[in-house]
Amino acid sequence: METVIKIEGGHRLNGSVRISGSKNSTVALIPACVLASEPVTIYGVPDISDVRSLITLLNELGVNVEERDEDTLYIDPTHMENVPLVSEAATKLRASYYFMGALLGKFGHAEIRMPGGCYLGPRPIDLHIKGFEALGADVQYDNGCYILDADQLTGTNIFLDISSVGATINIMMAAVFAKGRTVIENAAREPEIIDIATLLNKMGARIHGMGTSSLVIDGVEHLGGCSHEIIPDRIEAATYIIMAAAMADDMLIENVIPQHLDAILMKLKEIGINLQIGTDSVHVFRTENDLKPTEILTKPYPGFATDVQQPFSVLLTQAVGQSTVTETIYAERFKHCDELKRMGADIDVRIPSAFIHGKTKLYGARVKATDLRCGAALVVAGLMADGVTEIHDIYHIDRGYDHLDRKLNRLGAKLWREEV
């Protein structure tokens, strides 16, 4: 038996939805908490399966974790032990690799099984490894595990060949206790990096240059406890804004930082979506006219987010003419196109681009979420389609979307889970 999500399409959306804390921040903030020697409280934690996997890993390390209220974690690393992270929980999500930087920084030793997550083509962690080695660590790979050792990490200048979010965060966490100054050049600039650096600075770290391509970390000897509220999830926000653009009469998306969504909001306006941008919200109204085609090129932040191109592609099936989506970050981010074709979409994939021909009617079908954002795209398509859409492999969706069923049904969608 398998649990699937079923969506009866064609129901208009109305009302307001509150965006949860950032998934991409949370999965790094939780490992960052082990760097402290006192308890840390995090507010705005999304209820997603990746968080539950990370809590399992914290428990394996002897970290006391208490879930307080619906979205608050109290993390106490006072009595933690540095044990190898080789259980199934470590392989379930890619973000488990953040324990490499955290444990190496705190203990000078880390052992972790090769992380998992969505398959989006080659996603090597060689930049992480090069950064750790530049700080003075010895890194070995044995029988599916990475083993990292360092008597003393020493600050240095590190240039990232690719502006990688994961490598920037991991090296930053390893460097907080390194002797002297570490400078990461060509650092990623995503809002999530600023969020993690803000947490570490509250704990007593000395990190400067967040949000720029030159990140400076001056090593310290001790990190204490603190409280921290996670930034809103810009990818979840974009997904709901796209759902509203597709199916809403009048829908307010709340707890949003609009500046984090500039590239997406500009594209939505360009294709003809009727929306108003508030201080911390986006209000979407029904669009009466046909949508215009466009060209999308995914780029690192502040460009058009790769995580958003899949759900946005669904919206472009309703634009009159040919739209082009070019993927510069993850070549495998076109698996959703085959699933959308089952629903009637006219899409021609010639990597690194997809050519979307519209306007086409979508029909309910049996489809598979091949990864997290493919799952989000299929939910958007299911809301738009005639008939019932049945989505399989929904564990991908549950990795990144907090209470998807509840939020959508409150807005007027008809979505449910069923054993098949």
Tell me which amino acid residue 266 is: M
Q: Is 24 annotated as a binding residue?
A: yes
Q: Residues 118, 226, 337, 374: which is the catalytic one? A: 118
Q: Work out the angle between the directed axes of helices 372-384 and 306-316 (0-180°, nearest 10).
A: 20
**What CA–CA distance (Å, rounded) separates 325 from 313?**
7
| Contact (Cβ atoms closer than 8 angstroms) between residue 323 and residue 295 | yes
Give the burial class of 2: count Cβ atoms within 10 A of its Cβ; 0-12 exposed, 13-18 middle, 19 or more buried: exposed
Paired residues of 179 in beta bridges: 154
Q: Which of 407, 401, 416 is nearest to 371 (CA)?
A: 401
Residues in the chain: 420
**What CA–CA distance (Å, rounded) separates 171 from 155?**
11
For residue 410, the Cα-to-chain-centroid distance in whole angstroms is 24
CB neighbourhood size of 216 (10 A): 17
Q: Is 124 annotated as a binding residue?
A: yes
**What CA–CA distance (Å, rounded) separates 118 from 105?**
27
Tokens, residue 196: 């993690």
**What CA–CA distance (Å, rounded) separates 377 from 296?**
16
Q: Work out the angle between the directed axes of helices 234-247 and 23-32 (0-180°, nearest 10).
A: 160
**What CA–CA distance (Å, rounded) separates 411 from 178?**
49
Q: Is 94 annotated as a binding residue?
A: yes
Tell me if residue 118 is catalytic.
yes
Tell me which amino acid residue 37 is: S
CB neighbourhood size of 406 (10 A): 11
Q: Is 351 annotated as a binding residue?
A: no
Q: Is 52 annotated as a binding residue?
A: no
**What CA–CA distance (Å, rounded) separates 101 from 87?**
18
Q: Is 329 annotated as a binding residue?
A: yes
DSSP SS3 for 84: coil
Q: Is 307 annotated as a binding residue?
A: yes
Residue 180: its H or E element: none
Q: Which of 137, 44, 56, 45 is nearest to 92 (CA)?
A: 56
Which residues are catalytic, by number? Answer: 118
| Sequence ranges of the binding site | 23-24, 94, 123-127, 307, 329
| Sequence ranges of the binding site for UDP-N-acetyl-alpha-D-glucosamine | 94, 123-127, 307, 329
| Sequence ranges of the binding site for phosphoenolpyruvate | 23-24
